[in-house]
Amino acid sequence: MAHVHHSHEGESLSSAAKTTMEKSGEQWTQMRAAVFEALASFDKPASAYDIADKVSKEQGRRVAANSVYRILDLFVSANLARRVESANAYVANDHPDCLHDCIFLICDNCGQTTHLDNDSLSGGVRDAAKKAGFAPERPVIEVRGRCGECN
Amino acid sequence: MAHVHHSHEGESLSSAAKTTMEKSGEQWTQMRAAVFEALASFDKPASAYDIADKVSKEQGRRVAANSVYRILDLFVSANLARRVESANAYVANDHPDCLHDCIFLICDNCGQTTHLDNDSLSGGVRDAAKKAGFAPERPVIEVRGRCGECN
DNA sequence: CGCCAAATGTTATATTGTATCTCTCGACGT
DNA sequence: ACGTCGAGAGATACAATATAACATTTGGCG
pLDDT of residue B146: 96
A2-11: b (≥16 Cβ within 10 Å) or e: eeeeeeeeee
Task: Kindly state the average pLDDT of the residues A133-144.
Answer: 97
Burial class (CB in 10 A: 0-12, 13-18, 19+), B11: exposed
What confidence category does residue A9 fall into, taking pLDDT thresholds of 50, 70 and 90? Answer: very low
pLDDT of residue A24: 84
For residue range A51-88, list pLDDT tens digits in order.
999 999 999 999 999 999 999 999 999 999 999 999 99
SS (HEC) of chain B: CECCCCCCCCCCHHHHHHHHHHHCCCCCCHHHHHHHHHHHHCCCCECHHHHHHHHHHHHCCCCCHHHHHHHHHHHHHCCCEEEEHHHCEEEECCCCCCCCCEEEEEECCCCCEEEEEEHHHHHHHHHHHHHCCCEEEEEEEEEEEECCCCC
pLDDT of residue B66: 97
CA B115/CA A45 separation, integer angstroms: 28
Residues from chain B contacting residue A140 (CB–CB below 8 Å): 85-86, 140-144
* Residue pLDDT tens, chain B, 151 long: 555 555 554 457 788 899 999 988 899 999 999 999 999 999 999 999 999 999 999 999 999 999 999 999 999 999 999 999 999 999 999 889 889 999 999 999 999 999 999 999 999 999 999 999 999 999 999 999 999 999 8
pLDDT of residue A15: 83
Decide: CB of B27 under 7 A of nucleic strand C.
no
How far in angstroms lies nucleotide C11's C1' from the CA of residue B62? 31
Residues from chain A contacting residue B116 (CB–CB below 8 Å): 128-129, 132
CA A125/CA A117 separation, integer angstroms: 13
pLDDT of residue A151: 80
pLDDT of residue A72: 97
Residue pairs spanning A and B at CB distance below 8 A: 118
- Residues 6 or more apart whose Cβ sits within 8 Å of residue B74: B26, B32
For residue range A103-124, list pLDDT tens digits in order.
999 999 999 999 999 999 999 9
Decide: CB of B67 under 7 A of nucleic strand C.
no
Question: Is the pLDDT reported for residue A22 higher than 70?
Answer: yes
CA A135/CA A127 separation, integer angstroms: 9
pLDDT of residue A59: 95
Question: Is the pLDDT reported for residue A23 higher than 90?
Answer: no
Pairing status of strand B102-107 against strand B113-117: antiparallel
pLDDT of residue A10: 39
Burial class (CB in 10 A: 0-12, 13-18, 19+), B67: middle
Task: Kindly state the average pLDDT of the residues A80-99.
Answer: 94
Q: Which of B86, B116, B137 minimises the CB distance to A146? A: B137
Helix (H) or strand (E) holding A110: none
Interface residues from chain A to B (CB-CB < 8 Å) = 85-86, 103, 105, 107-108, 114, 116, 118, 121, 124-126, 128-129, 132-148, 151
Of the listed ranges A2-11, A22-31, B28-37, B103-112, the least confidently predicted one is A2-11
